[in-house]
Amino acid sequence: MNPAPHLQAPRPVHALWAGALALGLAGCATAPAPAPAPTAPPPAPVAVVPAPAPTPAPAPANASVAGQARTFSTQIATYTAVNFDSVPGWSRDDFAESWPAFLTSCRVLNGRGAQWQEVCGRASSVDGKSNPAIRSFFEREFAAYQIRDDDRRPDGVVTGYFEPEIEGSRTYAPPFIYPVYGQPQDMLFIDTRKLPPGNGTVAARVQGNQVVVQTGLSTRDMGAPGLYALDLSQLTRDTIDRKARLRIDGQRLLPYFTREEIETRGAPNAKVLAFVSSATALYEMQIQGSGRIRLPNGEVIRIGYAEQNGQPFRPTLAQGRGGKPKSAVRTRGGAIELELDDGEDDDIGDVGAIRTRGFTLARPVASGAVVVPGQRASGPVTGSGIKDPSYVFFKEVQTNTAGPVGAMGVPLQPGRSIAVDPRSTPLGYPVFVSTRQPGSGTPMQRLTIAQDTGGAIRGAVRADYFFGNGQLAANQARRMKERGQLWILLPRGQAVAAATATVARGPGGTRTRGVGGSLANCLVPDDQTCADD
Residue 282 covered by a domain: no
Residue 215 covered by a domain: yes
pLDDT-derived band at 348, boundaries 50, 70, 90: very low
pLDDT-derived band at 293, boundaries 50, 70, 90: very high
Give the best-scoring range by mean pLDDT among 185-199, 306-320, 493-507.
185-199
Q: Which residues touch 326 (CB under 8 Å, ≥6 apart)?
A: 317, 318, 319, 320, 341, 344, 346, 347, 353, 360
Of 223-232, 243-252, 415-424, where does mean pLDDT reach its minimum?
Answer: 223-232
Residue 70 covered by a domain: no
- Predicted structure pTM score: 0.69
Distance CA 148, CA 156 (A): 8
Name the domain count of the chain. 1
Strand runs (DSSP E) across 256-309, as ranges? 272-276, 290-294, 300-308
**Distant-in-sequence contacts of 36-43, Cβ < 8 A, 24+ apart:** none
Distances (CA, A) of 517 to 63, 498, 500, 520: 13, 10, 12, 9
91-136 residue pLDDT tens: 999 999 999 999 999 999 999 889 999 999 999 999 999 999 999 9
Domain that holds residue 226: 188-255
Regarding predicted confidence, which is higher, 150 or 89? Answer: 89
435-484 residue pLDDT tens: 999 888 899 999 999 999 877 788 999 999 999 988 899 899 989 999 99
pLDDT-derived band at 11, boundaries 50, 70, 90: very low
pLDDT greater than 60 at residue 303: yes
Residue 242 covered by a domain: yes
Strands 417-420 and 443-452: parallel
Distance CA 153, CA 486 (A): 11
Residue 51 covered by a domain: no
Residue 235 covered by a domain: yes
pLDDT-derived band at 382, boundaries 50, 70, 90: very low
pLDDT at 321: 55
Residue 239 covered by a domain: yes
Residue 81 covered by a domain: no
